């Protein structure tokens, strides 16, 4: 495995939401997708900060949609994961799974 810095929690959550949403991955739905799966509402400003960071690192790309009257003539920015982003997400998942494995307190129903 290539050496990559592990993704942070917010980065992993945003990348997973982008993958789940596919072509509908933009700010508000990303926030809602995360909230639906983790049970708490993330700060929208934090989502956008994470999206900007992931884009700078080349892990996602952004594309502008068409302006709409419903948004006062503004366009949505849609996001998609890059090959590099997918590789880094998988590497982080594998590293965390290796680290978690074999810890007796995390196996089964034990407290």
Q: Distance between CA atoms of 81 and 55, rounded to whole angstroms?
A: 9
Q: DSSP secondary-structure letter at 50?
A: H
- Give the global pTM: 0.85
Range from 8-17, 53-62, 82-91, 99-108 carrying the lowest mean pLDDT: 99-108
Q: What is the CATH number of domain 9-101?
A: 1.10.10.10
Residues 6+ apart with CB under 8 A from 38: 13
Q: DSSP secondary-structure letter at 104?
A: G
Query: Would you state the pLDDT for residue 3?
Result: 61
Mean pLDDT for the chain? Answer: 89
Phi and psi (nearest 5°) for 88?
Answer: -70, -35
Instruction: Give 20-59 pLDDT, tens digit per residue.
Output: 999 999 999 999 999 999 999 999 999 999 999 999 999 9
Distances 108 to 10, 93, 102 between C-alpha atoms, Å: 27, 20, 12
């Amino acid at each position: 495995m290539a050496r990559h810095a592990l993704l942070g929690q917010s980065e992993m959550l945003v990348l997973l939401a982008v993958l789940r949403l596919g072509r509908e991955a933009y700010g508000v739905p990303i926030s809602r997708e995360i909230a639906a799966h983790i049970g708490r509402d993330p700060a929208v400003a934090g989502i956008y900060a994470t999206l900007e960071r992931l884009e700078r690192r080349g892990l996602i790309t952004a594309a502008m949609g068409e302006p709409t009257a419903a948004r006062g003539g503004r366009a949505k920015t849609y996001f998609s994961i890059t090959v590099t982003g997918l590789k880094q997400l998988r590497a982080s998942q594998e590293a965390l799974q290796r680290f978690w494995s074999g810890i007796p307190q995390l196996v089964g129903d034990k407290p």
